[in-house]
């Protein structure tokens, strides 16, 4: 690879700044062509993830993925916003197999696991 994943992501993120939605779409298409030309098609996912990370970081946005046993209530969302911040990019999924509680993944780096399933697993392992 001529440049690192971070360098590709930084260049693309910086190019996106100040562009309209349609311009950003065209820029994204060209970026993927560049990756293909550089022989980096197989590494596109880590680069795209890094782009997402830098994009959110620049805008002070936190990516929060919540997997819960039941749909989130408004109060729960407010409580999460109170702790993490208002500028949140939400990803919510409902997984009944979690039995109870929820798993919160912040910026794909920090995990808070408060599900009933994990608690039971730890209980039976101990």
Partner 1 sequence: MAILDTLKQEIEGFKHSIKAEKIGRVLEAGDGIARISGLSEAASQEILLIEAGAEIVPAIAFNLEEDAVGAIILGDPRGVKEGHTVKQSGRVLSVRVGEELIGRVVNALGEPQDGQGPVFHTEAEEIFYPVERRAPSVVERESVSKPLHTGMKAIDAMIPIGRGQRQLIIGDRQIGKTSLAIDTIIHQGIDDPAARPICIYVAIGQKESKVAKIVATLKEYGALDYTIIVSAPASAPASLQYLAPYSATAIGEYFMHQGKDALLVYDDLSKHAWAYRELSLLLRRPPGREAYPGDIFYLHARLLERAAKLSKNHGSGSLTALPIIETQLGDVSSYIPTNVISITDGQIYLEPELFYQGMRPALNVGLSVSRVGSAAQTKAMKKVAGRLRLELAQFRELAAFVQFASELDEATRKRIERGRVLTELLKQPELHPVPFEKQTVVIYAGTNGYFDDVPPAKVSETSAFLLDYLEKMHREDILEEIRKSRALPDEVEERLKRALEEFKKLENTDVFSSANPLE
- Which residues fall within 8 angstroms of residue 19, CB to CB, at 6 or more apart? 27
Q: Which residue, 6 or 77, is less far from partner 1 as judged by CB?
A: 6
56 binds partner 1 (CB under 8 A): no
Q: Which residue, 26 or 79, is less far from partner 1 as judged by CB?
A: 79
Q: Which stretch binds partner 1 (CB under 8 A): 30-38, 65-73, 85-93, 116-124?
A: 116-124
Helices (H), the chain: 5-16, 21-37, 44-58, 74-84, 116-125
Among 50, 63, 66, 80, binds partner 1 (CB under 8 A): 50
Polymer length of the chain: 126
Q: How distant, in Å, are the alpha carbons of 7, 19, 86, 92 from that of 89? A: 24, 20, 9, 10
Interface positions, 91-110, toward partner 1 (CB under 8 A): 105-106, 108-110
5 binds partner 1 (CB under 8 A): yes
Cβ burial 56-93 (10 Å sphere, 16+ → b, else e): beeeebbbbbbbbbeeeeeeeeeebeeeeeeebeeeee
Q: Which residue, 31 or 103, is less far from partner 1 as judged by CB?
A: 103
126 binds partner 1 (CB under 8 A): yes
Question: Which residues form the interface with partner 1 (CB under 8 A)?
Answer: 4-6, 45-46, 49-50, 105-106, 108-114, 119, 122-123, 126
């Amino acid at each position: 690879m001529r440049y690192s994943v971070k360098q590709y992501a930084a260049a693309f993120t910086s190019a996106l700044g100040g562009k309209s939605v349609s311009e950003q779409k065209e820029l994204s298409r060209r970026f993927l062509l560049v990756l293909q030309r550089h022989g980096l098609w197989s590494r596109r996912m880590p680069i795209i993830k890094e782009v997402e990370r830098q994009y959110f970081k620049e805008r002070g946005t936190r990516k929060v993925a919540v997997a819960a046993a039941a749909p989130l209530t408004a109060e729960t969302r407010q409580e999460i916003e109170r702790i993490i911040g208002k500028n949140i990019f939400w990803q919510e999924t409902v997984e009944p197999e979690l039995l109870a509680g929820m798993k919160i993944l912040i910026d794909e780096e920090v995990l808070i696991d408060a599900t009933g399933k994990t608690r039971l697993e730890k209980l039976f392992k101990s």
